[in-house]
Amino acid sequence: MRYLMKERFFAIGEDYDIQDEHGNVVYHVDGKAFTIRDQLSFQDAAGNELAYIRQRLLAIGRTYEITRGGELAAVVKKDLFSLFRCSFTVDVPGPDDLTAEGSLLDHEYTFRRGDRVVATVSKRWFTLRDTYGVEIAEGEDAVLILASAVVIEMACHNEK
């Protein structure tokens, strides 16, 4: 499935609208302004919260928790040592961890589960600031991958 993730220009905090391949807004990310750490609510088009993203304060490096219904769904952590690239682990409960690696300068990311590519994120073909195309393989958890893509964008390109 293909998605278009656009940051809102006139928003307080990190706010995104995510459209499906037909141009329908299917998700919204509501960044909480004026907080000590990054906090975002990942919602469906009707405003129902599907996931919550929160930066860990006392973690070494940039680390974020994604929760669903109060339960931990994933911990997204930026690798400490990677030159000119952003590398992340997406630690999910059980054996289905993901890795994400992308070019810091080109805004290109690939999510993998082992050797298999499960999603790609690209800013290459878009001219608007902070607009990304996201392609997710069939059967993958779109909310988890899109929420992780928001984390990667914040961790690698946040200019706060």
CATH at 53: 2.40.160.200
Q: What is the pLDDT of residues 10-65, one digit of tens each?
A: 545 578 899 999 999 999 999 876 555 678 999 999 999 999 999 987 767 789 99
List the structure tokens of 88: 């992340």
pLDDT of residue 6: 86
How large is the average pLDDT for residues 82-105? 84
Number of separate domains in the chain: 1
Find the domain containing 135 and state its range. Answer: 2-157
Q: pLDDT tens digits for 57-73?
A: 776 778 999 999 999 99
Closest CA to 158 of 19, 17, 5, 38: 38
Structure confidence at residue 159 (pLDDT): 47
Rounded to the nearest angstrom, the gap between the alpha carbon of residue 110 and the centroid of all alpha carbons in its chain is 12
